[in-house]
Every structure is written in structure tokens, then in C-alpha cells.
Amino acid sequence: MKSYGFIGCGNMGSALARAICRRIDVKQLYLSNRDPDKAEKLAMELHANVSDRVSIAKECDCIFLGVIPQAMEKLLADIRPFLQERKKAPLLVSMAASLTIGEIGEMAGGNVPVVRIMPNTPVSVGEGVILYACGDRAGPKETEQLINVLEAAGLCMEMQEEQIDAATALTGCGPAFVQMFIGGLADGALACGVPRKEATLLAAQMLIGSAKLTLLSGRNPGALKEEVCSPGGTTIQGVRVLEERAFSGAAMDAVIAAYEKTKASVK
């Protein structure tokens, strides 16, 4: 693919645009937004091009649709004539929660390739998770090029589309749960006399290190937990308190509640 266009430069669209600039020539990046000032500001930051939805629909090879689900139908109705008149349809990349590949394709005219992605907020620092599913019309070459570019933002994992909502309850909502955990740990250290700045830094770095250990070791989190828990030691007392407060069950329920809300929204 030669050119990439973003229609919508909100928080997630901007984060992805910043990430893919590590893999593409910024001269081939085109940005548009309902508020032109936002697109102009991001374009200046990235040294990319300011554009509009119609021009992007006419010219870009890969088009990121960064609008909320409620705005998607109108957006695609506006650009559908321009998509349909092209000799080769561009690849549409939807970030809209709850809208299926089939729904996006139908709104766009029915004969365009669609890839559905669900990124999370850590893509802004290149350590995100991007879940994706490909429509039948999305060719392997174009999909491979897209994923190669998106890997600048973090881990890309292909999912069956019917599994994406469940996985997003973990990867998309999880950063909020983790921030609560970091804040709680830092508050505990603060209560014990550690200054706020240092407590937050230590909590965040401890989480980074623990997560990396899980990924690199390939071991079960329960087994890694046991290695820290000495008989009669301090760690097992902290674990005891967490389990008395149903810590593991609360984490499970948080993911399940997010998933059930998503299912209810789709209906």
C-alpha cells in the first residue's frame, strides 16, 4: 500500500497515526477530522498531510475509519460514491466497537475490503494490543502490509470476529483496571511512608517487570506467584488479604461485566 488516510483524529486515531509513522513515509500519511484544527495540529507534529474525507476516499490505499459507531453510517454514506467509482477499492480499517465487518462493508457499498481492528490505549507508547479480523474481500497481501505497519503500535493478534468483543473486554477495558491497581499499590506505599512520586514510579515499573516476566517465561501466572511467596513470609500475607477481598474474583467479574455491557449495546 502506498498511502494511508485517517478519517477521524481522536485519541485512538491519533495514537495509531503516531505509531505507524515509525513504519511508513510520513509524506504518504493523510489526516482529516471533523474539527480541522485537530487534524492540522497532528499533521504539524508528524509532518504529515492535512486532507478531508472525500479526498482520502478518492486517493488513499488504506483508510482508517476513526469515528464513533453512531457516526459511521453517515460517514460511509458521504464517501460511498467515491469509494465505488475507484478502479481498485481501498482497504477500510474500522476501529468502531460493536460494528461488524459485514455492517461496515454494507454501509460502504458492499464490494470493499474491510479489516476490523480493536486497539487499546497503550498503542500510544508502542506497547498496545491490536485485535483484528479480516473480511472475505481483504486480500492476504494488503492485510500483511497493514499488520506490518500496525506492529509499530504493539502486539497484533488475529481473532475470529465473534471473539473480538470478549477479548476487547480484557485488552480494551483492562488498561483502566490496571491503572486502578497501580494507583492502589502506590497509595499503600504512600501510607507506609514512601513519597507519592516514587511510589507511583515503583508500582508502575514493578508491573512492567512482572508482565515482561510472564511473557518471556511463558509460565503460568500462578506458578510465578508461588515463587514470590515464601512459607510464613510477607508476600503470602499480602496475597491472603487480597484473596479475602476476592481480588481474583473481582478481576474476573470486571472483564465479564465489560463483555456483557458490550453484548447489551450490540443488541
Tell me: the pLDDT tens digits for 1-30? 689 999 999 999 999 999 999 999 999 999
Average pLDDT, the chain: 95
d(CA 76, CA 70): 11
Residue 22 identity = R
- Beta strands 128-134; 114-119: pairing state: antiparallel
d(C-alpha 254, C-alpha 256), whole Å: 5
For residue 262, the model assigns a pLDDT of: 86
Whole-angstrom Cα distance, residue 219 to residue 111?
44
CA atoms 37, 42, 44, 50: torsion sign: negative
The answer on pLDDT for 208 being more than 90 is yes
| Residue 188: closest CA among 224, 255, 241 | 241
**Domain range 4-160, CATH architecture:** 3-Layer(aba) Sandwich (3.40)
The whole-angstrom separation of Cα 146 and Cα 143 is 5
Q: Could you give the residue range(s) of every CATH 3.40.50.720 domain in the chain?
A: 4-160
CATH second-level architecture of 174-266?
Answer: Orthogonal Bundle (1.10)
Intervals of CATH 1.10.3730.10 along the chain: 174-266
| Whole-number pLDDT of residue 215 | 96
The closest of 83, 234, 87, 251 to 173, measured between CA atoms, is 251
- Is the model's pLDDT at 247 over the cut of 80? yes
Query: What single DSSP character describes residue 119?
Result: E
- pTM exceeds 0.85: yes
